[in-house]
Amino acid sequence: MAKDKKLVEAITSMEEDFAQWYTDVVKKAELIDYTSVKGCMVIKPAGYAIWENIQRELDRRFKETGVENVYLPMFIPESLLQKEKDHVEGFAPEVAWVTHGGLTPLQERMCVRPTSETLFCDFYKNDIQSYRDLPKVYNQWCSVVRWEKETRPFLRSREFLWQEGHTAHATEEEAEARTQQMLNLYADFCEEFLAMPVVRGRKTDKEKFAGAVATYTIEALMHDGKALQSGTSHNFGDGFARAFGIQFTDKDNKLQYVHQTSWGMTTRLIGAIIMVHGDDSGLVLPPRVAPVQAMVIPVQQHKEGVLAKAAEVRDALAAAGLRVKLDDTDKSPGWKFSEQEMRGIPIRVELGPKDIENNRCVIVRRDTREKLEVALEDAAAKAAELMDVIQKDMFERARAHRDSHITDVKTYDEFRDAVEHKPGFIRAMWCGDEACEIKIKEDTTATSRCMPFVQEEISDTCVCCGRAAHKLVYWGKAY
Amino acid sequence: MAKDKKLVEAITSMEEDFAQWYTDVVKKAELIDYTSVKGCMVIKPAGYAIWENIQRELDRRFKETGVENVYLPMFIPESLLQKEKDHVEGFAPEVAWVTHGGLTPLQERMCVRPTSETLFCDFYKNDIQSYRDLPKVYNQWCSVVRWEKETRPFLRSREFLWQEGHTAHATEEEAEARTQQMLNLYADFCEEFLAMPVVRGRKTDKEKFAGAVATYTIEALMHDGKALQSGTSHNFGDGFARAFGIQFTDKDNKLQYVHQTSWGMTTRLIGAIIMVHGDDSGLVLPPRVAPVQAMVIPVQQHKEGVLAKAAEVRDALAAAGLRVKLDDTDKSPGWKFSEQEMRGIPIRVELGPKDIENNRCVIVRRDTREKLEVALEDAAAKAAELMDVIQKDMFERARAHRDSHITDVKTYDEFRDAVEHKPGFIRAMWCGDEACEIKIKEDTTATSRCMPFVQEEISDTCVCCGRAAHKLVYWGKAY
């Protein structure tokens, strides 16, 4: 039992130190490892398998809307990066520069892509000639590099994996519709697949993407009450098209600029899953995204017939469509339980000689720790049913947590008090003046997260300056 | 018809100029586009979809053998690259160097990975402690960079996509077995999925991978008689383990070095598909790897009922499991035929008012251009059957072409004559002395492709020096 306890004791409790708890979980659940390259990590099999599930599901949803995948180079020549003024200002300070190819200095240095708007524009400039070539709805899965000073696994690393969609359209309306379509796709994905409720809204001008006309965002609330921007979708209008000269001949044979969008989601989502659903025993994975959904753990497996029966149960669950494994290693059952909990596997099936005698097994839910005695012949059906139940319950619990951590405030005193004493989202009216946004950030460290699509008037004056205000904003401390 | 002819005329014929034919196909089949970054390309939707199919199938085969996917950083600190002597000599001259992060010079420059042995070693050094941690059978899908001087789409580009497997084992035997297992997996994949026959063999010491004890390779023959190395698998012995200090405690509590392997396949395979199967009308895709397997092309589609019936046929083929599309654009049927041929779609289904009247359609095979009149209710079953037939026929044709381009030679005169006049593989005995290998390359530009697993003694003297020889070698000009 000493070994079993050690595994559990090694995690700091969430209440004690949330940041340390997070770091402990990513390491102990074997999601990542650190490397010799500061700010870059190894994504280990347990972590990468989560990303593969995210990819597969997102990619499927993308393709249903007509998205096609492509691959563009990882390098951006400096002159290309500089073509759109706001964009270069936003990214140049944090890119990695390549200056030599082999032993030879490059004539022009190149950065490793921090994002690929400029490359897609350079490509579209040649690829788009006529209205018949539109729309272009392309996406790529790749890694990008941003030379951040402070890094944390999944949440902020110098290299991270993501997808970036880049589209070009004939009209402003079509670009706007695609921007919102992808934002809603992201939101639905988070809620349905990751069991993670999000607020859908628009970023203020101050917080929008470098070069965008409008940025839409989904914001999730972590267990510690901080917000996490979980996906963004940008409408560029024709700004990039004008900077890069991306024109097409319309049906009336007139030259027009295209309207563009881009949208992305990253491995940061894995950080979100951890911080929304995790507990003091480790990771808790929603069944849909869990690489392993059920672990069969035999008790007294050296006794005759136990392993064989455990394998039968595993096969029955697999036949019912579950991703299931059997832990027949020589570790103690208690150790195996701890590992299954640490890794966030949604259920375990315990099975010993007595259970077999009584033709039953015990299913333990990871999320609630509830134990269910189930007849062996019902195990597979029950496990399959639990996948849906757990997925739904996890979403409802996360939503209840989120909703109980929203504070509506009308005055600046209330705002300051909420930032200090009530972790979570703060909802307050805003006049629209960037000066108020800056003041709030300086005074409280809270930032505007988004102007939600669903607007309400909880007061008629700006929480900061007291002038007339008609915009409801979600504020919060953020990752 | 002018438009239709233009599309076809735009391709150079293979006989006239094979290199230009290749370039025409990759462009006209819309597989790639060139970019502002010299030596790097855009992989367009039609090209990337081929890669996705390759990935899906290879990944499935990998996982059946216990492979787990991971992701390691794209950067390698210079000191890490230098740890294994042969390896750094092999790669340092052709890497891209990152020297600045944002505005700040890096303390130590890093290269963009040309391959990740050093990173995996650095990772395994910490991740492997005990025999219980072995084997590690990890793989990653990513892009790598090699600063080549001369580049060609898919065949040799400065950045390319690939998978790289990296494994660590307790024993020499296990490492050797994994090396050969993966080589055979690659060979089977090429033959079964890409309809591309390969020769399986071992590289000479001169041609082996930088740092490897043994490199195994599969060599395919292109239509022009040149060889293409299509996949390699390396056994490193404990060389990297000693350089990096990767040790584990064995069952007797003794410290041992691990034995390692690596193996990779790249987007170069797309170049191989083009050059093995293509013809003067463009790409010819084997059905299993084809993103679109059948194109339904209506004739006189403005006539009542034609489009509706064409959609019915499309749906029937889709229901039979085919990846099928309907081309209902306003182009002429002839233009659509040319496009379908250029893109290598394995079959097209032609369907006009007269066909409908007679309750039939015409299926045209891309590979043989054979036309089949088929009753409408049999179209789906026939199309599904054709997928298997075409796949098999394409493999057999490629094998016949390969086999008819193998020349056995016993003397150096015969060798020189064969290099000059008989495009294809040359089989000849070799004494094992690197001097002969170098002389042959200098005299003829042919290189040793591999020592095939299936050995024969076609003579008992070295084709170059005349001394006793017991190694049969495949030689050839190569991409």
CA distance B38 to chain A (A): 10
Helix axes B306-319, B379-403, angle to 10 degrees: 70
Minimum-distance CB partner of A93 among B40, B102, B143: B102
Q: Do B42 and A159 touch (CB under 8 A)?
A: no
- Which chain A residues are Cβ-neighbours of B71 within 8 angstroms? 42-43, 48, 51, 143, 161
- Which chain B residues are Cβ-neighbours of A95 within 8 angstroms? 102
CA distance A365 to chain B (A): 26
Secondary structure (H, E, C), B343-356: CCCCEEEEECHHHH
Locus of tokens 């992701």: B71
Instruction: Report the number of secondary-structure helices (H) and strands (E) in chain B.
Output: 15, 23
- Which chain A residues are Cβ-neighbours of B77 within 8 angstroms? 36-37
Residue B333, C-beta contacts closer than 8 angstroms, at least 6 positions apart: B297, B298, B299, B350
CA distance A441 to chain B (A): 25
Structure token pair of residue B39: 């030596």
Helix axes A18-28, A268-277, angle to 10 degrees: 110
CA distance B17 to chain A (A): 26
The reported pLDDT for the residue numbered B9 is 60
Site from B37, B133, B138, B159 to mutate, A interface, most A CB atoms within 10 angstroms: B37
Give the DSSP H or E segment for B431: none
B77: nearest CA partner in chain A: A37
CA distance A473 to chain B (A): 33
- Which chain B residues are Cβ-neighbours of A43 within 8 angstroms? 70-72
The reported pLDDT for the residue numbered A221 is 98
Q: Do B70 and A43 touch (CB under 8 A)?
A: yes
Q: How far is CA A386 from CA A45, A368, A382, A423, A446, in A?
A: 25, 12, 6, 32, 39
* Total length of chain B: 479
Q: Do B142 and A143 touch (CB under 8 A)?
A: yes
Structure token pair of residue A382: 């029950």
Structure token pair of residue B6: 């233009």
Minimum-distance CB partner of B48 among A35, A70, A92: A70
Cβ atoms of A21 and A11 within 8 Å: the answer is: yes
Q: What are phi and psi of B122, to 5 degrees?
A: -60, -35
A75: nearest CA partner in chain B: B37
Minimum-distance CB partner of A48 among B71, B122, B161: B71
Give the DSSP H or E segment for B131: none
- Which chain B residues are Cβ-neighbours of A94 within 8 angstroms? 101-102
CA distance B303 to chain A (A): 23
Burial of B439 (0-12, 13-18, 19+ CB in 10 A): middle
CA distance A268 to chain B (A): 14
A93: nearest CA partner in chain B: B102
Structure token pair of residue A57: 């599901």
CA distance A204 to chain B (A): 26
Minimum-distance CB partner of B45 among A70, A76, A92: A70
Give the DSSP H or E segment for B97: strand B96-101
Structure token pair of residue A201: 């809204």
- Which chain B residues are Cβ-neighbours of A51 within 8 angstroms? 71
Site from B40, B51, B52, B71 to mutate, A interface, most A CB atoms within 10 angstroms: B71
Residue A384 and residue A293: Cα distance in Å, rounded? 10
A39: nearest CA partner in chain B: B73
Minimum-distance CB partner of A42 among B112, B123, B161: B123
Q: What is the ipTM of this complex?
A: 0.95
The DSSP bridge pattern shows strands A104-112 and A75-77 to be antiparallel
Minimum-distance CB partner of A102 among B37, B77, B94: B94
Q: How far is CA A52 from CA A106, A352, B2, B163, in A?
A: 36, 34, 47, 15
Cβ atoms of B107 and B158 within 8 Å: the answer is: no
Locus of tokens 């708890």: A21
From the list B439, A354, B23, B443, the residue with the least C-alpha distance to B33 is: B23
Q: Is the dihedral of CA A315, A316, A319, A323 positive or negative?
A: negative
- Which chain B residues are Cβ-neighbours of A37 within 8 angstroms? 73, 75-77, 110
DSSP B328-396: -SSS-HHHHHHHHHHTT-SEEEEE-HHHHHTTEEEEEETTT--EEEEEGGGHHHHHHHHHHHHHHHHHH
- Which chain B residues are Cβ-neighbours of A44 within 8 angstroms? 70
- Which chain B residues are Cβ-neighbours of A127 within 8 angstroms? 33
Residue B32 and residue B30: Cα distance in Å, rounded? 6
Minimum-distance CB partner of B40 among A73, A94, A147: A73
Residue B221 and residue A13: Cα distance in Å, rounded? 61
pLDDT tens series, chain A, 479 aa: 344 444 556 799 999 999 999 999 999 999 999 998 889 999 999 999 999 999 999 999 999 999 999 999 999 999 999 998 888 888 888 999 999 998 899 999 999 999 999 999 999 999 999 999 999 999 999 999 999 989 999 999 999 999 999 999 999 999 999 999 999 999 999 999 999 999 999 999 999 998 899 999 999 999 999 999 999 999 999 999 999 999 999 999 999 999 999 999 999 999 999 999 999 999 999 999 999 999 999 999 999 999 999 999 999 999 999 999 999 999 999 999 999 999 999 999 999 999 999 999 999 999 999 999 999 999 999 999 999 999 999 999 999 999 999 999 999 999 999 999 999 999 999 999 999 999 999 999 999 999 999 999 999 999 999 999 999 999 999 99
* HSE-CB of A339 using CA atoms within 13 angstroms: 18
Residue B364 and residue B388: Cα distance in Å, rounded? 15
Q: What angle do CA A148, A151, A152 make, to 5 degrees?
A: 150
AA letter at A464:
C
Minimum-distance CB partner of B42 among A49, A110, A123: A123
CA distance A325 to chain B (A): 13
Helix axes A45-64, A268-277, angle to 10 degrees: 110
Q: Is the dihedral of CA A303, A304, A305, A308 positive or negative?
A: positive
The DSSP bridge pattern shows strands B259-266 and B324-326 to be unpaired
Give the DSSP H or E segment for B321: none
Minimum-distance CB partner of A102 among B71, B76, B95: B95
Residue B296 and residue A353: Cα distance in Å, rounded? 61
From the list B157, B148, B158, B75, the residue with the least C-alpha distance to B118 is: B75
Residue B254 and residue B244: Cα distance in Å, rounded? 18
Minimum-distance CB partner of B101 among A33, A44, A96: A96
Residue A350 and residue A358: Cα distance in Å, rounded? 13
Minimum-distance CB partner of B97 among A37, A42, A98: A98
Site from B44, B63, B161 to mutate, A interface, most A CB atoms within 10 angstroms: B44
Residue B50 and residue B283: Cα distance in Å, rounded? 12
Q: Do B51 and A72 touch (CB under 8 A)?
A: no
The secondary structure of residue A10, as a DSSP letter, is T
Give the DSSP H or E segment for B425: strand B425-430
The reported pLDDT for the residue numbered B4 is 44
Q: Do B69 and A75 touch (CB under 8 A)?
A: no
Cβ atoms of A86 and A210 within 8 Å: the answer is: yes
From the list A444, A442, A435, the residue with the least C-alpha distance to A462 is: A435
Start-to-end Cα distance in chain B: 38
CA distance A327 to chain B (A): 14
> How many beta-carbon pairs below 8 A join chains A and B?
145
Minimum-distance CB partner of B77 among A36, A43, A95: A36
Residue B222, C-beta contacts closer than 8 angstroms, at least 6 positions apart: B228, B272, B275, B276, B479
- Which chain A residues are Cβ-neighbours of B70 within 8 angstroms? 42-45, 48
The reported pLDDT for the residue numbered B86 is 83
pLDDT tens series, chain B, 479 aa: 344 444 556 799 999 999 999 999 999 999 999 998 889 999 999 999 999 999 999 999 999 999 999 999 999 999 999 998 888 888 888 999 999 998 899 999 999 999 999 999 999 999 999 999 999 999 999 999 999 989 999 999 999 999 999 999 999 999 999 999 999 999 999 999 999 999 999 999 999 998 899 999 999 999 999 999 999 999 999 999 999 999 999 999 999 999 999 999 999 999 999 999 999 999 999 999 999 999 999 999 999 999 999 999 999 999 999 999 999 999 999 999 999 999 999 999 999 999 999 999 999 999 999 999 999 999 999 999 999 999 999 999 999 999 999 999 999 999 999 999 999 999 999 999 999 999 999 999 999 999 999 999 999 999 999 999 999 999 999 99
Q: Do A37 and B100 touch (CB under 8 A)?
A: no
Residue A155 and residue A224: Cα distance in Å, rounded? 15
Q: Do B33 and A127 touch (CB under 8 A)?
A: yes
The DSSP bridge pattern shows strands A425-430 and A406-408 to be parallel
Rg of the Cα atoms in chain B: 25
CB atoms within 10 A of CB B94: 17
Cβ atoms of B119 and B125 within 8 Å: the answer is: no
Among left, alpha and beta (phi > 0; psi -120 to 50; other), residue B5 is: alpha
- Which chain B residues are Cβ-neighbours of A42 within 8 angstroms? 70-73, 123
